[in-house]
A and B are shown apart, each in its own frame.
Chain A
C-alpha cells in the first residue's frame, strides 16, 4: 500500500523527489505519513479534497481485507 501511495502522489506533484511515505503499523490501524514538498500540498488534496478523499477511500478498502483501519496524514 505504501508503494501505491508513493506512485500516485509522485505522478501528481511537481517535486517528486520530496515525496516520502512513512508507514506506522499498529495492531488495529495503519498510519501513513505522507510528506510532500512546498507548494504541492494543494495538488495532493485536490479540488474540494477530492484526491485526498479518493486515496483515503481506496486505502480503507484495501485495509478492510485485513480487518484494519487506515489513517493518511498529509504533511507539507
Chain B
C-alpha cells in the first residue's frame, strides 16, 4: 500500500485524510491533485522514494530525541547504507556494545518494511560498524595464529550474531582452525579451536 486516494473539502483536509490512512508524517509523502471542485478535493498520496523516505524517517527519529544528525545515504549492492554523524554524541547513539545502534537499525528497518518490503537497510553511526568489522577480522586472525601455534583452544568476547558471522567468514579462509560456541544468551561465547583433520 504505497499509494492511496483521499478526498476532503479542501486541499489540506484531503492530504490530512490521506496521511491518516497511511499513518505516516507529512514529510514522508508526495501528493498530487486529481480533481478540485468547490466542495471537494481529491488527491493521490504516495510514499516518497526509498532513499528520501529513509532520510526523512531517520532525521525525524533522531531530532525528536534531541540529536542534531547529519545523515548520509549511499547505495551498495545489497541495499541502502545509512550513516549518521553527530557532533560529540556518537557514543550515545552507539551505546554499550552497539546496543542503541542495534535498536535504531531494528526500528528503522521495521518502519521502512511497511512500504518497501524488499529493501535492505544498514544503519551505521560514524562508521562504527566498519571499524568494528575490521577490528574483529584482525582479532580473529591473530587468535587463529596463536591457536595454530600452541594447539590450544581460545575464546573470543561475546559477539552478536552478525559479528559472529563476520568472524566465521574470516576464519573460513584460514585452514586448521574451527569455530564453535558455548553458553546461551548474554554469556554465549565463541571458541576458536584447532582442527584435527588438517594435522
Contacts and interface: CB of A to CB of B under 8 A. Distances in A.
A62 B63 CA distance: 10
A1 to B, nearest CB: 6
Contacts, number: 62
Given A11-B111, A58-B61, A64-B92, A53 B66 contact: no
B65 A61 contact: yes
A60 B61 CA distance: 14
A53 B102 CA distance: 10
Interface residues of B, number: 23
A57 B103 contact: yes
Contacts of B111: 8, 11
Interface in A1-22: 1, 3-4, 7-8, 10-12, 16
Interface majority SS on B: helix, strand, loop or mixed?
helix
Nearest to B25: A7
B93 to A, nearest CB: 6
Which of B66, B89, B103, B106 lies at the interface centre, i.e. has the most chain A CB atoms within 10 A of its CB?
Answer: B103
B99 interface: yes
Interface of A: 1, 3-4, 7-8, 10-12, 16, 50-51, 53-55, 57-62, 64-66
